[in-house]
């Protein structure tokens, strides 16, 4: 009789789950576990959308297992509890899916060796991405640094075997029969509800599949164009589900490849553009795995001593959506209220913080990490280092987003701005992209800048010039050394 533990982590689903499939197939009795990690949770605010999201997902899995006559063993402790649970349930092995963050790799190494001393095997599988670690390398056997080259190699290598489904659902009978223990309420873990229902992230089971089906039926066909406009909701909103594994990346890629094969022209191109976004995800995972220094340091080490400025007031204004630039402020309000921000706005707000205020990108990265429901170390770090020009395939330093022209181009009617800054609800769009230029006009709408909405905290033209001068000086000093 072979018994094993299955440890759910960032793969919170029963279907098409690689390690779960192997675990159920290779063992007669499987005990599923989830650990709320005290060490991680203790550093979070009491009202945390992510914790609430995880709590709902865990509850859903528990319900599904109860229907099968089994249960999910939920612990509140530390990752090392796995070893205790393995002993308590007298198992031969522990199964889980791989996690590529440096601290998780370290954690898993420690657990593997602790289990090894007890003669308990530890098996981990690729599930989060299509290609992991060093699967896609250059001809010189080096990891790719340039996204386009990585994408081309990824696409060339992709075969149907890479996105095969693991039919774990068919093996649910191999879960051990367990009496259901009640799911502890969120406050047992020291948290209160943060209201994820309003964040386009329903708590309903199968919400990820629902979103994906909707996206495939309509939005993906227009994605190439619509994805740029925050007011159109033209993206998939699947990032949080990919983050916590409530949908399988293989299913997504499988369906999109098939859909693309059946389409032609613009619709096909739109599908391909979306697939390329998913490849960015794999790209940043392999960067994090192969260059773990990026967690704390710039990818390009020449930026280690870049003279970032110290501007606590500017940082606070940025966090609170009080910069006086409506598009930036509306984006920060979206982040602060929903725990989500549109991709273009992530780039615009990051560029504003880094280039127009010369604030260390790591402060912005940390703020996003705290607020984003879809926070993923690899993509967040990649996005911030791209914006800061310190990353592997980053935009050049002189590329500085102009918040006014971005606003005119991507929110021309001010629909997004008005949604998140209701003070402007009745104001014509033409006054919204640079409101300080229309102070007299705004008074007709009862808005006095400095009282009802902030005056700009930086002057774009001056700030841009200053950033370029600092950068050029920094590079000159580097070269002369």
Which residues, listed in sequence order, are joined to residue 64 by a DSSP beta bridge? Answer: none
CA angle, residues 43, 45, 50, in degrees to nearest 5: 95
- Nearer CB in complex with ligand FAD: 207/281: 281
Q: How far is CA 477 from CA 95, 167, 302, in A?
A: 52, 58, 11
Query: Is 229 part of any known ligand binding site?
Result: no
- Nearer CB in complex with ligand FAD: 120/271: 271
- Nearer CB in complex with ligand FAD: 176/374: 374
Query: Is 279 part of any known ligand binding site?
Result: yes
- Nearer CB in complex with ligand FAD: 30/330: 330
Smallest gap from Cβ 243 to ligand FAD, in A, equals 6
In this structure, the dihedral spanned by the alpha carbons of residues 253, 255, 256 and 257, taken in order and rounded to 10 degrees, is: 80
Query: Is 239 part of any known ligand binding site?
Result: yes
In 3D, which of 13, 29, 24, 95 has the Cα closest to residue 61? 13
Which residue lies nearest ligand FAD, judged by its C-beta?
383
Smallest gap from Cβ 37 to ligand FAD, in A, equals 19
- Nearer CB in complex with ligand FAD: 22/216: 216
Smallest gap from Cβ 240 to ligand FAD, in A, equals 8
Query: Is 376 part of any known ligand binding site?
Result: yes
- Nearer CB in complex with ligand FAD: 350/467: 350
Query: Is 260 part of any known ligand binding site?
Result: no
Cα(294)–Cα(378) distance, integer angstroms: 9
- Nearer CB in complex with ligand FAD: 294/434: 294
Query: Is 280 part of any known ligand binding site?
Result: yes
Query: Is 283 part of any known ligand binding site?
Result: yes
- Nearer CB in complex with ligand FAD: 356/372: 372
Query: Is 215 part of any known ligand binding site?
Result: no
β-sheet with 29-37: strand ranges across:
73-77, 29-37, 3-8, 93-97, 121-125
Query: Is 238 part of any known ligand binding site?
Result: yes
Go through 316-342 and write b for each residue having 16 or more CB atoms within 10 A of its CB, e for each that does not.
Answer: ebbbebbbbbbbbbbbbbbbeebbbbb
List of residues contacting ligand FAD (CB under 6 A): 227, 235-239, 242-243, 277-278, 280-281, 284, 343, 346-347, 350, 368, 372, 374-376, 379-380, 382-384, 387
Cα(368)–Cα(339) distance, integer angstroms: 9
Cα(31)–Cα(26) distance, integer angstroms: 13
- Summary count for the chain: helices (H), strands (E): 20, 5
Cα(7)–Cα(21) distance, integer angstroms: 12
Instruction: State whether the Cα torsion 140-141-147-153 is positive or negative.
Output: positive
In this structure, the dihedral spanned by the alpha carbons of residues 298, 304, 309 and 312, taken in order and rounded to 10 degrees, is: 50
Query: Is 359 part of any known ligand binding site?
Result: no
φ and ψ at residue 464, rounded to 5 degrees: -65, -45
Query: Is 40 part of any known ligand binding site?
Result: no
Smallest gap from Cβ 215 to ligand FAD, in A, equals 7
277 CB-near residues (< 8 Å, 6+ apart): none
In 3D, which of 144, 124, 433, 162 has the Cα closest to residue 275? 162
Smallest gap from Cβ 284 to ligand FAD, in A, equals 5
Instruction: State whether the Cα torsion 399-405-407-409 is positive or negative.
Output: negative
- Nearer CB in complex with ligand FAD: 16/176: 16
Go through 104-115 and write b for each residue having 16 or more CB atoms within 10 A of its CB, e for each that does not.
Answer: eeebbeebeebb
Smallest gap from Cβ 125 to ligand FAD, in A, equals 20
Smallest gap from Cβ 355 to ligand FAD, in A, equals 13
Residue indicated by tokens 């920094």: 474
Query: Is 120 part of any known ligand binding site?
Result: no
- Nearer CB in complex with ligand FAD: 151/281: 281
φ and ψ at residue 31, rounded to 5 degrees: -110, 115
Query: Is 375 part of any known ligand binding site?
Result: yes
34 CB-near residues (< 8 Å, 6+ apart): 7, 8, 58, 61, 72, 73, 74, 75
List residues forming the annotated binding site for FAD: 223, 235-239, 274, 277-284, 374-376
List residues forming the annotated binding site: 223, 235-239, 274, 277-284, 374-376
């Amino acid at each position: 009789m072979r018994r094993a533990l299955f440890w759910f982590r960032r793969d919170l689903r029963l279907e098409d789950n690689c390690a779960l499939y192997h675990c159920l197939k290779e063992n007669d009795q499987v005990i599923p576990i989830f650990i709320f990690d005290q060490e991680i949770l203790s550093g979070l605010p009491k009202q945390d959308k992510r914790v609430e999201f995880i709590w709902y997902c865990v509850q859903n899995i528990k319900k599904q297992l109860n229907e099968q006559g089994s249960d999910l063993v939920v612990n509140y402790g530390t990752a090392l509890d796995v070893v205790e649970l393995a002993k308590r349930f007298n198992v031969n092995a522990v199964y889980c899916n791989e996690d590529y963050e440096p601290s998780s790799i370290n954690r898993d190494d420690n657990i593997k060796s602790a289990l090894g001393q007890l003669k308990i095997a530890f098996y981990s599988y690729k599930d989060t991405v299509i290609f992991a670690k060093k699967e896609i390398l250059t001809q010189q056997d080096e990891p790719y640094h340039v996204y386009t080259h990585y994408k081309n190699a990824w696409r060339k290598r992709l075969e149907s075997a890479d996105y095969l489904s693991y039919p774990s659902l068919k093996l649910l009978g191999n879960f051990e029969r367990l009496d259901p223990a009640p799911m502890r309420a969120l406050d047992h873990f020291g948290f209160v509800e943060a209201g994820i229902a309003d964040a386009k992230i329903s708590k309903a089971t199968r919400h990820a599949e629902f979103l994906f089906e909707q996206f495939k039926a309509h939005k993906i066909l227009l994605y190439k164009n619509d994805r740029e406009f925050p007011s159109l909701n033209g993206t998939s909103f699947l990032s949080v589900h990919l983050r916590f594994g409530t949908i399988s990346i293989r299913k997504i890629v499988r369906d999109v490849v098939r859909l693309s094969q059946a389409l032609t022209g613009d619709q096909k191109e739109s599908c391909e553009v979306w697939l390329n976004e998913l490849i960015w995800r794999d790209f940043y995972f392999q960067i994090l795995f192969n260059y773990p220094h990026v967690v704390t340091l710039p990818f390009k080490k020449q930026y280690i001593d870049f003279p970032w400025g110290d501007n606590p007031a500017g940082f606070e204004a940025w966090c609170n959506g009080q910069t006086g630039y409506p598009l930036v402020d509306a984006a920060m309000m979206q982040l602060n209220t929903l725990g989500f921000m549109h991709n273009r706005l992530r780039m615009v707000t990051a560029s504003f913080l880094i280039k127009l205020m010369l604030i260390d990108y790591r402060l912005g990265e940390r703020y996003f990490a705290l607020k984003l429901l879809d926070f993923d170390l690899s993509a967040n770090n990649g996005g911030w280092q791209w914006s800061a020009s310190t990353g592997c395939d980053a935009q050049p330093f002189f590329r500085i987003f102009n918040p006014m022209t971005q606003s005119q181009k991507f929110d021309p009617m001010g629909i997004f701005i008005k949604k998140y800054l209701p003070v402007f609800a009745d104001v014509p769009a033409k006054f919204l992209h640079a409101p300080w230029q229309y102070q007299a006009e705004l008074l007709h709408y009862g808005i006095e800048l400095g009282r009802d909405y902030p005056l700009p905290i930086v002057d774009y033209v001056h700030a841009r010039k200053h950033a370029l001068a600092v950068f050029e000086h920094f590079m000159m000093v580097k070269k002369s050394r």
